Structure 1
């Protein structure tokens, strides 16, 4: 599937910003389920300095600085990505030996054990504490001896079924425990809750940012700019004999679970997903963050469109 993603972020400042430095994570990456064919990033006004680097998690990030006064900042990301359907979660006898307790014991620190890069996703992070409330919510899905992927799927479905998706019910900094307690949130909250549940049981889990192709109502045109960024979770499992890792740094594979839509797969939740970045939580992969001098209050506008390229030909 070919997908074009347009992501525009606009800041309007009440008074001029004198200087600013920003970091953005809006560049898709190549994965087993997607290939980036083209990507451009336009910043207005033109930055005084700009650079692109790969962060510690393998994400593409762009830094830029503005040294002249400005009262508006606009960042336009335009990406063309080819995606493919992910493999289903494996259910062979070898994979079924990977119980969640076995995975927990595998990543538990032991003197002299070989290092596994997945271990860094076991610990609390700025938006995701390890807490007994998460563990208590997760336990009904984690029966003794259950394969880790089957348990993770059950947890994903429980979050999808028992929590309510409600726009504007939380803020970007709403604690995941608060979202769990109130029983509602958005995709970021659902991802943080699932990660908190898994880590609180001793299992590695990552936050994944990206986009999801949405379909307009029958007979209605696609609304340009009406989509939004999306978030889901990837869960780690060590490889049984004969299986191949997603990444040379890992001794296992990462499987993707989207509790907002109750979808999962090996490498991606689906062909209609575009992955941007992975991290411990939202704070590692926020689309844009920075520091400014001046500016006072501001207005933020974000417009995202995900569509087949033919539907956006007029915007080329």
Structure 2
């Protein structure tokens, strides 16, 4: 399935900034066997005084931009065409959960996709006794690693409520779990904490999700949004799988990956520093438009 992706992020500041620097993770990249990017362009208005494009440790396309002259507004625009491949049938070839630690220990690599990076605490996610207990209560004797991932993701989908106004980007997994509500970022980070708490390496995936209008209704331009879900390592034979606890499903044709990391801090679409005063306003619009029938 091919998609035309359009993203606009706009910032307006109450007072001009005399210096601003941002780190952007907005460009999707090729992923072997999963997706292919046939075109991509990330532009900024005004044009930055500095721009550098590179890959970070996890292989995410990263753009560093800086302005040295006063600016009172910034617009970031992404245009990309991405092909998402049909996932292979998922057969459970993962080991029993009790045997997963041995398979993790047998991985003799510290490459970016090694499970070791995704098992311990990360900047925004530490194991929490309450979340770990919740995960353990959903397990049955003899569960495979994949069954554990599936059951925990589905349990969080049932027991947490999606609420776009309930949390902020700085809400911790413990706070979101205690309140049982949040946005996709919260669902993902709570699930990551739950999986790590029972010994399953887990990470955070940022990207786009194709959405469908109600029957008989046209698509609304700009109505889509960036999305977040979870990747989990379930053994040598299966490697990494991706589950979306917000929507209770494995990632498939409707998901386009932009960045993967240990938690939101590794994949934040826009991070930066600036010297200014007063408040700022921001607006985001996303369109994920299929180019093929289906």
TM-score of the pair, normalised by structure 2: 0.94
Indicate whether 1:197 and 2:198 are aligned: no
Match of 1:304 in 2: 286
Indicate conservation of the 8 Å contact 1:141/1:152, yes or no. no
Indicate whether 1:257 and 2:251 are aligned: no
Match of 2:275 in 1: 293
Indicate conservation of the 8 Å contact 1:89/1:149, yes or no. no
- Counterpart of 1:27 in 2: which secondary structure? coil
- Counterpart of 1:101 in 2: which secondary structure? helix
Aligned residues: 289
Match of 1:272 in 2: 254
Indicate conservation of the 8 Å contact 2:103/2:236, yes or no. no
- Counterpart of 2:223 in 1: which secondary structure? coil
Shift of 1:127: 1.8
Indicate conservation of the 8 Å contact 1:48/1:67, yes or no. yes
Match of 1:64 in 2: 65
Cα distance in structure 2, aligned partners of 1:33 and 1:224 = 26
Q: Superposition pairs for residues 114-129 of structure 1, below 5 Å?
A: 114-115=108-109, 117-129=114-126
Summarize deviations over 1:127-168 as a string: whole Å, max 9, x none. Answer: 211121111010123223211001111111111111111221
Cα distance in structure 1, aligned partners of 2:283 and 2:292 = 25
Indicate conservation of the 8 Å contact 1:41/1:77, yes or no. yes
Cα distance in structure 2, aligned partners of 1:135 and 1:20 = 40
Indicate conservation of the 8 Å contact 1:127/1:281, yes or no. yes
Cα distance in structure 1, aligned partners of 2:62 and 2:221 = 25
TM-score of the pair, normalised by structure 1: 0.87
- List alignment gaps of at least 5 residues for structure 2: none
Indicate conservation of the 8 Å contact 2:145/2:200, yes or no. no
Indicate conservation of the 8 Å contact 2:205/2:258, yes or no. yes
In structure 1, which of residues 131, 135, 140 is the aligned counterpart of residue 132 of structure 2? 135
Shift of 1:185: 1.1
Indicate conservation of the 8 Å contact 2:205/2:231, yes or no. yes
Q: Superposition pairs for residues 1-316 of structure 1, below 5 Å?
A: 1-31=1-31, 32-91=33-92, 95-96=93-94, 98-107=95-104, 114-115=108-109, 117-240=114-237, 253-264=239-250, 269-309=251-291
- Counterpart of 1:145 in 2: which secondary structure? coil
Distance verdict in 2 for CA 1:37–1:15, change over 3 Å: same
Indicate conservation of the 8 Å contact 2:167/2:182, yes or no. yes
Summarize deviations over 1:186-211 as a string: whole Å, max 9, x none. Answer: 11101001100011112210100001
Cα distance in structure 1, aligned partners of 2:108 and 2:10 = 46
Summarize deviations over 1:215-249 as a string: whole Å, max 9, x none. Answer: 11222221111111100001102224xxxxxxxxx
Cα distance in structure 2, aligned partners of 1:296 and 1:23 = 22
- Counterpart of 1:26 in 2: which secondary structure? coil
Cα distance in structure 2, aligned partners of 1:57 and 1:291 = 23
- List alignment gaps of at least 5 residues for structure 1: 241-251, 312-316
Distance verdict in 2 for CA 1:271–1:310, change over 3 Å: closer
Indicate conservation of the 8 Å contact 1:71/1:295, yes or no. no
Indicate conservation of the 8 Å contact 1:17/1:293, yes or no. yes
Shift of 1:295: 4.4
